[in-house]
C-alpha cells in the first residue's frame, strides 16, 4: 500500500514526466478525430484518464490530486453528462423540425466530408463523452487508491 | 467451432464464479465472463476478408457497403467495455469493504461468521 | 486465416483456466490481463480497431485496481474450492449448458459470415450505405454510436454514472453529513 502512496523511483518519475504529455495529446487527438479515424469519445477518454493514472502511480497521489483535484474531476464528470444532454435537447428545439438527437448542425452546415469540421454534432458529442469517461474513471481510481482498508479485530475499539 | 470456443471461455468464467471461494477470484471470473461476451458479440458481425467500417476517400461506397464488417455490434461493445470497468471497480470496492469487516476474502468463512 | 482466431481463443481459454486455478493471487491477476490482451488482438483481427483501442487501456486499469486489492499485509492464503458434491453438480450443469449452446450455434451462420448478410433489410446495411451522407462522419461506428443510436449512448452514460456512484457509496465511510458539521470539501475515505 505504501509503494502506491509515495511514488516510485526517480527513473520511473523522469520517464513518466516525458511520456505523460504525449499520452494526453494522443488522447485528445483520438477524441477530436473520432469521426474520421478509429477512436472517439470512449477510447480517447480512457487514454486521457490513463495519463492522470500514470501521474498518480509514478509521483504519488498528492501530485495527481494537485494536477486534477477530486472536486474538479467530479464537476467535469457532471459537465460532460450535461453537455451531452444539452446537445440532444438542442436538436429538439433548433427549429429544424428535429427530434431528440437530431444532427442539426450537419443539416444546416454540412461541411466538407473527411475534414475535421464536419459531421455536425458528432465531434461535440465526442468531447462530452470523453470528458465524462475520463473524469469518472479518474474519480473511481482515486477513490480506490485513497481507500484505507484496515481490519480491526471484533471486540477492539476501532 | 469458433463460437463453441467462445462459449467454452464463457463457461470457464462461469465455473470460477460458482466454485471459487476467494472473493478476488470471483471478481477475476467476472472479468473473464465479460470479455467472453464482448468477444462473442463482435464475432457475430465479422465478415471473412472484410474491412473495418471506416470509409476513406479512395474507396467506392458500394464496394465499402458490400465488404465492411457489421458496425452495430462494435458500437454496442465499445460502451459495454467501459461500463465493465466501472462494474469491476464496484465489485472490488465491495470485496475490500467485506475484507475490512471480516478480515478475510474467503466467502465460506464470511458466511460462517455471519449468516 | 480463421485458424489464427481459433488459436487465439484457445490461448484465452488457457489463460482463463490458469487465472482461475492458480494459487498465487498475483499470478491470477496477471493471467486475467493476458485474457484481456488476447481479446484486444482478436478485436484487431476482426476489423474492429475502434473497439480494440479501449480494452488496451481498460485492461491496464483493471490490473492496477486488482493489484491494489491483492497486495495487502498479512493476507491469509487458503486453498481449495467449495465442497466436492457442489462442484460435481456445477460441472454437470456447465456441461449441459455447453451442449445446449452448441445446438444454438447451428442456427447462426458460420463464423465469417455476418448475420446482416442474411437479412435484406438489416439496419447495418442502411447505416453502411448511407452513413457518410446522413451524418458526415467517415467512421461508421461513431456515426452509429452518436447519431443513429445516440439514445443508447445516453443510456450507457447513465449506467456508467450509476456504477461510479454505487462504488463511491460503498467506498466512503461517512454515510451522511450532519447539518451541524462545517462544510468541508471531504474526499478522504
CA A6 to chain centre: 24
C79 or C33: which carries more pLDDT confidence?
A: C33
A100 or A75: which carries more pLDDT confidence?
A: A75
The domain of B6 spans 2-47+59-113
Q: Could C137 and A119 be called an inter-chain contact, meaning their C-beta atoms sit closer than 8 Å?
A: yes
CA separation for the pair A57, A65 (Å, rounded): 12
A147 or A54: which carries more pLDDT confidence?
A: A54
What pLDDT, on a 0 to 100 scale, did the predictor assign at position A3? 45
| Surface-to-core class of residue C83, CB atoms within 10 Å of its CB (0-12 exposed, 13-18 middle, 19+ buried) | exposed
**Where does the pLDDT of residue A4 fall: very low under 50, low under 70, confident under 90, or very high at 90 and above?**
very low
Read off the pLDDT of each residue in A101-130 and give the average, rounded to a whole number.
77
Note the pLDDT tens digit of each residue in C14-73: 999 998 888 888 888 889 999 999 999 998 888 888 888 888 888 888 888 888 788 765
Query: Going by C-beta distance under 8 Å and a sequence separation of 6 or more, which residues neighbour residue A50?
Result: A23, A27, C57, C60, C61
Residue B112 half-sphere exposure, CB side, CA atoms within 13 Å?
Answer: 7
B58 or A158: which carries more pLDDT confidence?
A: B58
**Which of B54, B92, B101 has its CB closest to that of A144?**
B92
The angle formed by the CA atoms of residues B69, A121 and A138, to the nearest 5 degrees, is: 80
Model confidence at C172: pLDDT above 90: no
In order of A58, A130, C63, the CA distances from A64 in angstroms are 9, 19, 19
What pLDDT, on a 0 to 100 scale, did the predictor assign at position A158? 44
A110 or C77: which carries more pLDDT confidence?
A: A110
Of C56-65, C95-104, C126-135, C147-156, the poorest mean pLDDT is in C126-135
What pLDDT, on a 0 to 100 scale, did the predictor assign at position A96? 62
Read off the pLDDT of each residue in A53-58 and give the average, rounded to a whole number.
86
Task: Confirm if A79 and A48 have CB atoms less than 8 A apart.
Answer: no
Read off the pLDDT of each residue in A145-149 and give the average, rounded to a whole number.
73
Q: Could C171 and A147 be called an inter-chain contact, meaning their C-beta atoms sit closer than 8 Å?
A: yes
Neighbour subunits, B (≥3 Cβ pairs < 8 A): A, C
C25 or A6: which carries more pLDDT confidence?
A: C25
Name the domain count of chain B. 1
Pick from C139, C88, C44, B82: nearest CA to A35: C139
Between residues 39 and 98 of chain B, which touch chain C (CB distance below 8 Å)?
A: 39, 42-48, 50-56, 61, 64-65, 68-72, 74-90, 92-97
**Where does the pLDDT of residue A20 fall: very low under 50, low under 70, confident under 90, or very high at 90 and above?**
confident
What pLDDT, on a 0 to 100 scale, did the predictor assign at position C78? 62
Residue B54 lies in a domain: no
| Most A-contacting residue of B88, B89, B92 (CB-CB within 10 A), to test interface | B89
Task: Confirm if A68 and A142 have CB atoms less than 8 A apart.
Answer: no
**Where does the pLDDT of residue C86 fall: very low under 50, low under 70, confident under 90, or very high at 90 and above?**
confident
Alpha-helical runs (H) found in chain C: 2-21, 25-45, 49-70, 84-105, 123-135, 140-143, 150-171
Question: pLDDT 10s per residue in chain B (115 long)?
Answer: 788 899 999 999 999 888 888 888 889 999 999 999 999 998 888 888 888 888 887 878 778 878 888 888 888 898 888 888 888 888 888 888 888 878 777 887 777 776 5
Determine contact: A46 vs chain B, CB below 8 A: yes
C133 or A12: which carries more pLDDT confidence?
A: A12
Q: Could B72 and C9 be called an inter-chain contact, meaning their C-beta atoms sit closer than 8 Å?
A: no
Model confidence at A18: pLDDT above 70: yes
Read off the pLDDT of each residue in A67-95 and give the average, rounded to a whole number.
83
The CATH number for B66's domain is: 1.10.287.3510
Domain ranges of chain C: 1-75, 112-177
Phi, psi of A33 (to 5 degrees): -100, 20
Question: What is the pLDDT of chain C when averaged over all its residues?
Answer: 81
Task: Confirm if A60 and A5 have CB atoms less than 8 A apart.
Answer: yes
The angle formed by the CA atoms of residues C149, A125 and C138, to the nearest 5 degrees, is: 70
ipTM: 0.88
The angle formed by the CA atoms of residues A106, A131 and A52, to the nearest 5 degrees, is: 145
A50 or C83: which carries more pLDDT confidence?
A: A50
In order of B11, B36, B62, C10, the CA distances from C92 in angstroms are 12, 21, 50, 22
Contacts of B103 in chain A (CB under 8 A): 151, 153
Amino acid at each position: 500500500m505504501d509503494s502506491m502512496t509515495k511514488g516510485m523511483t526517480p527513473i520511473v518519475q523522469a520517464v513518466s514526466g516525458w511520456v505523460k504529455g504525449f499520452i494526453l495529446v494522443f488522447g485528445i487527438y483520438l477524441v477530436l478525430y473520432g469521426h474520421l479515424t478509429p477512436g472517439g469519445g470512449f477510447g480517447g477518454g480512457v487514454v486521457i484518464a490513463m495519463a492522470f493514472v500514470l501521474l498518480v502511480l509514478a509521483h504519488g497521489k498528492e501530485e495527481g490530486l494537485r494536477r486534477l483535484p477530486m472536486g474538479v474531476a467530479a464537476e467535469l464528470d457532471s459537465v460532460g453528462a450535461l453537455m451531452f444532454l444539452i446537445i440532444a435537447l438542442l436538436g429538439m428545439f433548433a427549429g429544424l423540425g428535429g427530434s431528440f438527437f437530431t444532427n442539426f448542425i450537419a443539416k444546416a452546415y454540412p461541411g466538407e466530408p473527411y475534414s475535421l469540421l464536419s459531421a455536425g454534432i458528432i465531434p461535440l458529442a465526442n468531447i462530452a463523452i470523453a470528458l465524462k469517461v475520463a473524469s469518472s474513471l479518474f474519480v473511481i481510481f482515486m477513490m480506490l487508491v485513497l481507500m484505507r482498508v484496515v481490519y480491526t479485530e471484533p471486540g477492539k475499539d476501532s | 467451432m469458433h463460437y463453441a470456443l467462445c462459449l467454452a471461455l464463457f463457461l470457464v468464467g462461469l465455473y470460477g464464479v460458482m466454485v471459487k471461494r476467494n472473493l478476488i477470484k470471483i471478481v477475476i471470473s467476472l472479468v473473464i465472463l465479460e470479455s467472453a461476451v464482448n468477444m462473442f458479440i463482435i464475432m457475430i458481425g465479422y465478415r471473412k476478408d472484410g474491412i473495418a467500417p471506416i470509409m476513406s476517400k479512395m474507396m467506392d461506397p458500394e464496394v465499402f457497403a458490400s465488404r465492411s464488417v457489421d458496425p452495430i455490434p462494435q458500437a454496442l461493445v465499445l460502451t459495454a467495455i467501459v461500463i465493465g470497468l466501472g462494474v469491476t471497480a464496484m465489485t472490488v470496492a465491495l470485496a475490500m469493504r467485506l475484507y475490512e469487516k471480516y478480515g478475510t476474502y474467503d466467502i465460506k468463512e464470511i458466511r460462517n461468521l455471519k449468516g | 486465416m480463421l485458424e489464427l482466431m481459433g488459436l487465439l481463443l484457445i490461448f484465452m481459454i488457457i489463460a482463463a483456466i490458469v487465472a482461475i486455478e492458480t494459487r498465487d493471487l498475483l499470478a491470477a491477476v496477471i493471467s486475467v490481463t493476458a485474457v484481456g490482451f488476447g481479446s484486444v488482438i482478436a478485436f484487431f483481427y476482426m476489423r474492429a480497431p475502434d473497439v480494440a483501442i479501449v480494452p488496451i487501456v481498460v485492461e491496464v486499469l483493471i490490473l492496477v485496481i486488482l493489484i491494489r486489492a491483492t497486495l495487502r499485509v498479512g493476507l491469509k492464503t487458503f486453498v481449495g474450492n467449495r465442497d466436492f458434491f457442489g462442484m460435481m453438480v456445477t460441472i454437470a450443469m456447465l456441461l449441459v449448458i455447453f451442449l445446449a449452446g452448441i445446438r444454438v450455434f447451428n442456427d447462426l451462420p458460420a463464423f465469417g459470415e455476418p448475420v446482416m448478410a442474411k437479412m435484406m433489410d438489416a439496419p447495418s446495411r442502411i447505416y453502411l450505405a448511407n452513413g457518410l451522407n446522413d451524418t458526415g462522419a467517415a467512421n461508421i461506428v461513431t456515426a452509429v454510436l452518436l447519431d443513429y443510436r445516440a439514445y443508447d449512448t445516453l443510456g450507457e452514460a447513465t449506467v456508467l454514472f450509476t456504477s461510479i456512484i454505487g462504488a463511491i457509496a460503498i467506498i466512503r465511510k461517512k454515510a451522511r453529513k450532519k447539518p451541524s458539521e462545517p462544510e468541508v470539501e471531504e474526499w478522504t475515505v
